[in-house]
Chains A and B, each alone.
Chain A
Amino acid sequence: MGFYISSRPNIAKYVINVASIMMTIPSLALYGVMVVAFAPFKLGLGIVPSVSAITIYSLLPITRNTYLALNQVKPEMIEAARGIGMSKNQILWKIKIPLSIPVIMSGIRIAVVMGVSVATYASLIAAGGLGYFIFAGIGRANLTMVLVGAILISALGIGVNYILLKVEDWITPKGLKVKR
């Protein structure tokens, strides 16, 4: 979606706005909406509505960062690419995307880490997960249980972030990282 809107500023405005509005919905409420939305298909509880809610939540950072990344490529780069005879597609795949990888990847990282924390609530709609320990712990006034849940979730978030940082480093073109 980010790729698609990057060359269409008119549509981009609306997409980014809609995605921003989605972000303002409290995550708990979004689960509620999903439960209602999927109820007619007998999928109202469990995995399907939770995954949908998390997906919608991740949309904004990924879309926005992809859009920004592709548009921050210096105009003279694109000018030079056109001037030496690259087609639109070649400019996108060979110039714009490689140059955008760091920013696109940081969008994905934000989305994933946010997804981890939002997924906590999924236990409330019977999707299980680590959130279960927290909410069950609160219900039983069991501090250890709450702490175990919270620490595991933090560890998961930090771990995933670390792995994605490594991936980012790995796929970023070497020329963008060299020391002068």
Chain B
Amino acid sequence: MIELTNVTKKFGNKIAVNNFSLHIEKGSLTMFIGPSGCGKTTTLRMINRLTPFDKGNIIVNDTPINDVNPVELRRNIGYVIQEIGLFPHLTVFENVAIVPRLLKWEQKKIERRIEEILELVTLNQSFAQKYPLQLSGGEKQRVGLARALAAEPEILLMDEPFGAIDPINRLKLQDSFLEIQEEIKKTIVFVTHDINEAIKLGDKIAIINEGNLIQYDNVSKILSDPANEFVENLLGQDRNIKALSLKKAKDYVLKDGFITVLDTESRESVEKKMKEKNIKIAFALDENNHLKSRFVLEKATETKKQKFIYNPAPWIIERQNNINEALSKMLEAGEKQLPVVNRKKEFVGIIKLSNIFEEVNKKTNIS
């Protein structure tokens, strides 16, 4: 839990943060958004005392932060910045181990923890001995997140962590970040200037302009009921379509209407099974539940005989994709249904175009 009460910060004569009060609940993901120079990063940095504040009070976990030694405070709050700040002279292992070592954990415990945390951010264990210069942008970002989480802090501060990443990888990172948060349930404050990112990731959004808190509310509430023109402009003309993006693929996953087989099974036996059960689609999985291929049994028509199609690299949708993304993939693939996987690429079910249209219909009926 983080509580800001009437916090004010001036840089010279300029007021950077003006009489700011905010209550951030435990286990929630709060997005700070606003134009550059609005005070969002300053506010974030005040929470771990990187920037001192002039007036007011900040309480983290029931203790006013000014009563805690700043170095101690920061070791108990995870921190991720845009440039990630991985230390190039240390291996991934050493980078992630920094805070546990500062906290004087035992070596055994550190090793176990790092294995666990690399697993969590879906990095192969072989990465432990690599150096940051050998990693791609997305991998660095995962290591940065792993480092911030290593000592199991309750609170995580993230300052535009995905800002320097190309759009395609950014979407992927956002998806897996959401799944990780679903698992770890940390109290996260996340600064961004990308409204789509804020809507996609946030439980709550704090909209900040010129040092003032303009609106602080649940994402759906902000989309349906913007406080003023500034918020409306920030959300953009298409805020109703954006509201759709609050719905995630995982909310529409179906567990029936298909069968799964092992990828070692012969095509003939798959075809036979499908015909027996009168099922049009089958997915082949390996022993780790990873999706390998897809089989489709096409309908027979008057002119054509029934066709059995093998599809070695099917399109997939990630659990955390919102339905805009899912819809767009379906249109691109020209499919009425696509398989859904989680961040570990494990198959979880399918999603159907008709279900998405139902959701769109609901929206249009309201307005």
Contacts and interface: CB of A to CB of B under 8 A. Distances in A.
A82 B50 contact: yes
Interface stretch (A103-111, A122-130, A154-162, A172-180): A172-180
B81 A76 contact: yes
Contact of B83 (A76, A98, A178, A180): A76
Contacts of B78: 84
B85 A85 contact: no
Contacts of A24: none
Nearest to A86: B102
Given A174-B131, A175-B132, A175-B133, A76 B89 contact: no
Given A84-B98, A90-B102, A175-B133, 16 more contacts: A79-B81, A80-B84, A81-B87, A83-B50, A83-B74, A83-B85, A84-B78, A84-B99, A84-B102, A84-B147, A85-B74, A85-B76, A86-B71, A98-B89, A173-B89, A180-B134
Given A85-B75, A85-B99, A176 B81 contact: no
14 contacts: A74-B83, A76-B81, A77-B87, A79-B50, A80-B87, A83-B157, A84-B147, A85-B71, A85-B102, A86-B98, A175-B90, A175-B91, A175-B131, A178-B131
A80 B131 contact: no
A81 B88 contact: no
B289 to A, nearest CB: 34
Contacts of B133: 175-176, 178, 180
Interface of A: 74, 76-77, 79-87, 90, 95, 98-99, 173-176, 178-180
Contacts, number: 77
A78 to B, nearest CB: 9
Contacts of B91: 175
Given A178-B133, A180-B133, A85 B73 contact: yes
Nearest to B91: A175
If over half of A's interface residues share one DSSP class (helix, strand or loop), that class is named, otherwise mixed; here it is helix
Contacts of A175: 87-91, 131-133
A77 B85 CA distance: 5
A18 to B, nearest CB: 32
Contacts of A85: 71-76, 99, 102
B187 interface: no
B132 A82 contact: no
Contacts of B90: 173, 175
Contacts of A98: 89
Contacts of A173: 88-90
A82 B74 contact: yes
A178 B134 contact: yes
B192 interface: no
B231 to A, nearest CB: 30
B159 to A, nearest CB: 9
Contacts of B320: none
A105 to B, nearest CB: 14
Contacts of A86: 71, 98, 102
B48 interface: yes
